[in-house]
Structure 1
């Protein structure tokens, strides 16, 4: 049987910032529904790899194929549209909009895609319930804990039913118990929706939730499963 085509595949990525090469012939393949941990020391290029895969940063050279579409050939408008529909994002400090309530933050991606407010907020309420933070719906991000904020962030990342979620150190600012809760809920929700998760982390306990690990060192990638 022919294996299914990968959801996202990058080959020979190079990216430099001035004289410093952040990526040096990096490659990675992500299957649909797969959770991959991208690990490596600080400054190794793992966040740059994540940003290239998500279409936030353009590589200097190399190819990134997303379901048969070459990301490096897309316009900024096409990439922006892709990030609104097919990609979800979760960052270390949540990056919730401070002026909006948690409910409005979760509904925001749907609103940006043209959904009416009442319908968007109804879905947002369901996702807050799913992530066990329904009680903070009316609060603003500055009024809740870091762990609650990250769970709100997970809800916002998944509300559009994305095919891929890009998570950059999502537990880096949390205590161990809050981090474990966020990872359990993120993993469960992603499995239920079928979203792939590309997770940048330096924590072994967080990487343990992944199906496999890819290590980045000096801008180069090594798939640990393939190396065994």
Structure 2
């Protein structure tokens, strides 16, 4: 007598925790004779803000660049949404950085020849949006971050804190699933730094983006859901996901 086939089990049962959106494991990376990462790991969940802390030279920026597909690790695995980023093609990684990843750097890295409005609209223009539509969305983001009055000014006409808020708008305008922030407050005074990190984390949570923020400042890490400490190229997760 033939038995009926057993139903296929689902990959994840109701009540099981969601899988990480981005996960790097066993990452190693050397630059010449200098070992930057030595068995580093980090998992990031949808909508989560994770602070990567550690002293200068600990490997935290290299870890961020590997997770973002900017630098390929020498060993280890990186998965994003079920995709293997270590073996992904350069065009595929470029497409992810244009549409699904957002970036915020210590000095903003705005294009000095463009207005603030044009800087924020740039990722959308590169994605094929019309100028009018892209700049309309950019204006909305500038208003949202309280720098709408700077739309027609160039980055050189802005203060450091203003320019960094413009950079936050540019990082978030495409609706990225992950934002990578590398020392985003490192060039700012404490008041402006706190304002920038608060606006970044609040806006990211409103849009559902996950954030990896590299910092050595405890006041910045205080805005994160979880901290990962990087030291000598290794990582230690200091807090369980809530």
Distance 2:229 2:89 in 1: 30
Q: In the TM superposition, what is the alpha-carbon distance from 1:184 to its structure 2 partner?
A: 1.2
Q: 1:156 aligns with which of 159, 170, 173?
A: 170
**2:10 paired residue number:** none
Q: In the TM superposition, what is the alpha-carbon distance from 1:154 to its structure 2 partner?
A: 0.3
Where does 1:39-54 land on structure 2 (aligned, <5 Å)?
39-54=53-68
Matched, 1:219 2:198: no
Distance 1:131 1:187 in 2: 12
Q: 1:70 aligns with which of 72, 81, 84?
A: 84
**2:101 paired residue number:** 87
Distance 2:146 2:201 in 1: 14
Distance 1:192 1:204 in 2: 23
Where does 1:1-228 land on structure 2 (aligned, <5 Å)?
1-226=15-240
Aligned length: 227
Structure whose alpha-carbon radius of gyration is higher: 2
Moved segments of 4+, more than 4 Å = none
Aligned-partner SS, 1:107: helix
**2:12 paired residue number:** none
Q: In the TM superposition, what is the alpha-carbon distance from 1:66 to its structure 2 partner?
A: 0.1
- What is the CA RMSD across the aligned residues, in angstroms? 0.9
Distance 2:64 2:83 in 1: 18
Distance 1:215 1:19 in 2: 23
Q: In the TM superposition, what is the alpha-carbon distance from 1:140 to its structure 2 partner?
A: 0.4
Q: In the TM superposition, what is the alpha-carbon distance from 1:180 to its structure 2 partner?
A: 1.0
Q: Structure 1 length as normaliser, TM-score?
A: 0.98
Q: Structure 2 length as normaliser, TM-score?
A: 0.93
Q: Which runs of 5+ in 1 are unaligned?
A: none
Q: Which runs of 5+ in 2 are unaligned?
A: 1-14
Aligned-partner SS, 1:142: helix
CA offsets, 1:43-62, max 9 Å, x none? 00000000000000000011
